[in-house]
Structure 1
Amino acid sequence: MFVKDAMSTVVLTIGPAHTLRQAAQLMAARRVGAAVVLDTDTSGLGILTERDILNSLGAGENPDRETAQMHTTSDVVFAAPDWTLDDAADAMVRGGFRHLIVLDDREPVGVVSVRDIMRCRSTVPERGNPILA
């Protein structure tokens, strides 16, 4: 199985000036655990994850003053749609992260997470979110 088969094609893209509160609201509305941070000034891509926001809140930082840019991981490992799920899992383990931005022709086309890989590998039917049910 390949990354293209497991990835979420819902790609939330935000700017570096978004506050952490705005990012969290957008992530919650889209039900995603990561946002691609696009800096149009540098044409760079980074990633902001739910863990980045949690770490900031845990440190007592104000989510209305902290920006995505301050917490974005910019040395991102990108996946290709034709990577195997083993390739993606290996990259995640080596890098110590849970999300990979999937690029096709230098454009973000998806995000693959540990949960996506587990869902594809599991033989157990996926259950609904009990909070939303």
Structure 2
Amino acid sequence: MNIEQRLKKLKRFEILVRSKQRERNVLGSMISQFSDEMTEKAKNRCRAIDDEISWLYDEREQLVHDIEHLDDPVESIVLRLYYVDDKPWNVIAYDMNCSIRTLQNIKRSAIRNLSKKINQVG
């Protein structure tokens, strides 16, 4: 998965986690109604969902760390506000007192730099 895909997933992090938690809760509440074979399958799926949620948290933590450690603090702030805090461009532009076009250029540069940084480490 490339860096842009990972960042888009980060933007949807809370939605993904809530969806997986709901699935797990539904399965967990229905386990007592299943046959032994289905109960085992449901328990396995619950464990798999727990693993997926754990992976999502790990991925989020790593990406946020990488964003916060970009060399350019403005790039770091723009990526954080857009992907981590899920703020729309107009709000970020107002907060940072610059145009949306400027922010998008900063974002593009930040993604390039983030990709380089991750590829150097990995």
Same fold (TM over 0.5): no
More strand, by proportion: 1
TM-score by length of 1: 0.23
Highest CA radius of gyration, 1 or 2?
Answer: 2
Q: TM-score, length-normalised on structure 2?
A: 0.24
Question: Which is helix-richer, 1 or 2?
Answer: 2
